[in-house]
Structure 1
Amino acid sequence: MFMQVGLREEDRDALRYLWRGNRRDSRPPEVYRMKVLIFGASCSPATAIYVMNRNAERHRHTHPEAVEAIKKKHYMDDYLDSYEDEHRAITIATQVRNIHREAHFELRKWTSNSPAVLKALGESPNATEAVEIERTERVLGLIWRPQEDRLAFNLDLARIPSNLLRREAPTKREALKIVMSLFDPLGLVSPITVRAKQLLQEVWRRGTDWDDPIDDELSAAWVNWLTHLKQLSGVTVPRCYPGYSRARKLQLHVFTDASESAYATALYWRAEDDDGRVTVTLLAAKAKQNFSRHGSKRRNKEPSDRRWRTSGNETVGGTCPHTTPPCRRGERRQLLSAVQMGHSTAPDGQGGGQELRQVPPEGGHSTATDNGRLASLPTGASSPAVYIHRFGLFRPAHSHRGPE
């Protein structure tokens, strides 16, 4: 893609380079200038995207839907879209390809769960191999299986040292390398990944050196975690959201909870069609280990800005009957921007008896509290209802839930 974008004459000096070729004598090297964008320059991605969108805008009056697909459904030179029927998919995809072709951008290696779409785009109808979501060297990766139209997990045990697969204790360096190579962008296997981070946190707290094996207690927990990790090879989830396109009513339900060791949130779409049929789909999840109470003195110091301190009985949705771990300022504000809450309260029996809040259907602003501070959040008139629940995702055995 970059090599198809030319540079103006006055901008080429920014991409000068020296060239000796095979010469190794005392003569000075030759000076060249690039005439196109190059890989590695920080400005290349933004420039290429600008040119791609500028070329698309030339066709807005004839192919408006294809232009919107180019501007909103591309990640660099990768195009990803979803349609309700094959005819519409073929039409828009063909238009997108033709618009790109006029700028000498060629879309290749099409993949689809529809053989008819593949055939129309000039690909083999059998080209339904699993697609890696991110092509990096990881122990755990996310893949899409077009034939089944499901997301699955690509477990590459060859990247785990053979001695660890024989139940030997890893060193801290080996454990860190494995944990940091887990790729789960949607948080679908958060119960597995957060446990690995908790184990690594305990290794750090015990002061284990980088190349020393972890102790026997943690080694047993590590072996148990590897057993659960291997079972992910058989886990798949639907790629699409059933009932989403034909839904008469859409609701986004957000469940949150915390314990002394971790805190988490899970988001679900609830779609209801004209016949009253309801489908619920896991949208995404997020889990983090709690900061250790036995950490460094710097971490345990009283924060100088008390406005962002989290007390033991405060959470984003209101009061919580058990301890809520401290969250960093950026994470709390990010959660607030993702979950827009209003002032209505659900009837008894909804949300497990916990407080339930809904975005007002009309336009305007709703409000949410951030540690007692009022935050104004815009809501669109066409937005689906958004609910927030406090639920026992990490309910510890010793916790007590009293009346609110």
Structure 2
Amino acid sequence: MVDREDADMQRIVWKDSENNMCIYRLLTVTYGLNCSPYLTIKVLHTLAEDEGGDCPRAAATLKECFYVDDCLSGTDTVGEAVQLQQQVQELLLRGGFTLRKWNSNSSDFLQGISGKNCGHDDLCDLSLDRNTKALGIYWSCNEDVIGYTAKENPVSSKITKRQQLSDIARVYDPTCLLAPVIITGKRVCQDLWRRGCAWDDPLPEPLQSEWQRFRRELPLINKIKIPRWTFSTADSSEQLHIFCDASTAAYAAVSYLRVVQPSGDIKVSILMAKTKVAPLKMRTIPQLELNGALLAATLSARILDDIQRKVTQTFYWCDSKTVLSWIRSDPGQHKQYIANRLIRIQQLTGAKAWSYVPTSSNPADVASRGIYPAELEKLSIWWMEPSWLQQDKCFWPAGISVEQTISTDEHDVQASSLLAVSQQTHDSWILHNYSSLHRLLNVTAWCQRFVKSVMKREHETTLYCTASERKIAMQFWGKQCNSKSKLLKLNPMLDEDGILRLNGRLKNAVLPACERFPIILPKEVTLVN
């Protein structure tokens, strides 16, 4: 209930059938407003803080296991589950709330709560459909697996950009377990924006054919069943493994929970993934790999913050030796783009936690490149993880020294601090060796032809200097003189060759351009003399 003092904020003006105006005040929390989800969660948290002192486990469930009006929780034993259910129900009753429609993978639990203080007939109906929808995904209680539903909506005409975006939006995948398929749709969407397609324009080829195939295969994801239980118990030991990779299209990270049970059995389960399309601005592969590493670091931080089990170790796997060398280096040695991401990665992870994994054993590789829906169900490296994770640590990829792996990319060169001292210099020595402008231009032209020949650029092959070469040589010396001109501050005109020319009243005269805009040369220059 809303406090009476605040009820005036929820006034409703209404006209009855006789056109009489009535004013009502809502006394309950209103649904459908932008603030409604926040108010729902805030009420639960406040109830847990005010009334949960004598049942701390139920209070923690209200704070951590509710998503709006869905409660998703569990315990190790049926007895603990029944006890937690009773505590949560009693705590919510203190605030006037009643939990209904209980469901579980354990029929014993459902039998245990059906005969104890069930105040409503529909609190627990064992004849209900055992497929429960929670947070937009489907949980089969009997098999204890998670699944998805997707339908192909037939279209009579060609696919447009609006329809393509609608197809992607209909697949709700909060944990990104369908990442290898979804990234394909994101990549096509980015291509459409890059090409400037309008909302109702048909997709150009070959994107039209690709998306027609994608839509036909999309219902095949209904066959995918993902085990909900990660085999974690109170006595087991858990490790978190994060894999990252990147391609020119996207970068991705995927996480797995490795559980070592008291019996020595090792179970590995996929937890969550995250993908992003590559930025429109061209980036090098090492830079995209670094973005993938940052995505892995943020993904692990989110999982470690939410997971209820205590993870003993976290391992990060990357197939880029360059990125591994960057992570183990000082961020100050790199340019800003690299340094900013390295600082964040080193804040979230430890450099020693990063290891090399071959691309063939990296499950994040498929999520960075994208596949069609028909390929996902039997993609063992994605669902079954690298087989070596189910073995002892001695069978994991051997450590590879990457300390000396330094990127030579022009965008990633090592930054250095230099001190430059300016010194007054005289004209080039070549000007003092030739008193004739004709000889100076010839020598300069031959030198420029030699440089072009060494650099394998196009150049003249005659036995003499051509007029065009002498003109280029003159332009070169004109630029050298102009760089020292005191007239620069007066903003004279620069021609198309970069030579400083006088831009005065002669520009309106009927004269050749070279006479209307004469070259400006300083008087104390050897070339002028």
TM-score using structure 1 length = 0.70
How many angstroms does 1:149 deviate by? Answer: 0.6
Counterpart residue number, 1:283: 271
Choose which of 229, 242, 253 in structure 1 pairs with 2:218.
229
Mapped to 1, the partners of 2:59 and 2:162 lie a distance apart of 48
Q: 1:350-400, CA deviations, whole angstroms, 9 ceiling, x for partnerless residues?
A: 97796999xxxxxxxx99968324346478xxxxx9656566343899xxx
Q: 1:69 to 1:386 in 2, by over 3 A?
A: farther
> Which one of the candidate residues 43, 68, 73 is aligned to 1:76?
68
Distance 1:81 1:175 in 2: 36
Aligned 8 A contact 1:345 1:356 in 2: no
Identity of aligned residues (%): 24
1:386-401 to 2 correspondence within 5 Å?
392=359, 393-394=364-365
**Counterparts of 1:285 and 1:60, CA distance in 2:** 34
Counterpart amino acid of 1:277?
D
Instruction: Give unpaired runs (5+ residues) of structure 1.
Output: 1-5, 136-141, 294-299, 301-310, 316-322, 358-365, 380-384
* Structural mapping, 1:139-178, within 5 Å: 142-157=137-152, 160-163=153-156, 169-178=158-167
1:108 aligned residue (97, 100, 111): 100
Cα 1:147–1:173 change in 2 (3 A) is: same
Equivalent residue letter for 1:100: L
Question: Partner amino acid for 2:179?
Answer: S
Note closer, same or farther for the CA distance 1:339–1:35 as it changes in structure 2 (3 Å cut). Answer: closer
Deviations 1:255-277 (A, max 9, x none): 11111112111111112223432
What secondary structure, in the 3-state scheme, does the structure 2 residue paired with 1:154 have? coil
Shift of 1:65: 1.6
> Whose strand proportion is higher, 1 or 2?
1
Is residue 19 from structure 1 mapped to residue 20 from structure 2 by the alignment?
no
Q: Secondary structure at the match of 2:242?
A: strand
The CA deviation at 1:222 is: 1.6
Question: Structure 1, residues 35-82: CA drift from partner, whole Å, max 9, x if none?
Answer: 222223444444444443343445545322222222222123321101
Question: Matches of 1:83 and 1:100 in 2, distance apart?
Answer: 19
Instruction: Tell whether the 8 Å contact from 2:15 to 2:22 is kept in structure 1 after alignment.
Output: yes
Q: Aligned pair 1:371/2:359, yes or no?
A: no
Q: What corresponds to 2:134 in structure 1?
A: 133
Q: Residue 268 and residue 389 in structure 1: after superposition, are their counterparts in 2 closer, same or farther (change >3 A)?
A: farther
- What is the Cα deviation at residue 146 of structure 1? 0.9
CA offsets per residue over residues 310-336 of structure 1, 9 Å max, x none?
x73655xxxxxxx64868x9x698458
Q: Is the 8 A contact 2:161 2:198 kept in 1?
A: yes
Counterpart Cα distance in 2 of 1:23 and 1:76: 39
Amino acid in the other structure paired with 1:55 = L
The question of whether the paired residues in 2 share the 8 Å contact of 1:253 and 1:387 is answered with: no
Q: Which amino acid aligns with 1:161?
A: P
The answer to whether residue 262 in structure 2 is matched with residue 274 in structure 1 is: yes
CA distance in 2, matches of 1:43, 1:8: 17
| Corresponding letter in the other structure for 1:264 | A
Compared CA separation, residues 194 and 67, structure 1 to 2 (3 A)? same
Question: Residue 215 of structure 1: CA displacement?
Answer: 2.8
Larger Rg: 2
Provide the aligned length of Structure 1 versus Structure 2.
Answer: 337
CA gap 1:41/1:177 in 2 versus in 1, 3 angstroms: closer
How far, CA to CA, are the matches of 2:277 and 2:100 in structure 1?
Answer: 42
Q: Which amino acid aligns with 1:197?
A: K
Determine the C-alpha separation between the residues in 1 that align with 2:190 and 2:7: 49
Give the Å deviation of 1:23.
2.6
* Distance in structure 2 (CA, Å) of the matches to 1:284 and 1:65: 26
After superposition, where does 1:37-56 map in structure 2 within 5 Å?
Answer: 37-56=29-48
**In 2: Cα distance, 1:324 partner to 1:356 partner:** 7
Q: 1 CA distance for matches of 2:95 and 2:71?
A: 16
- CA–CA distance in structure 2, aligned partners of residues 274 and 97 of structure 1: 34
**Change beyond 3 A, Cα 1:210–1:87:** same
Supply the AA of the counterpart residue of 1:233.
Answer: N
Letter in 2 for 1:184: D
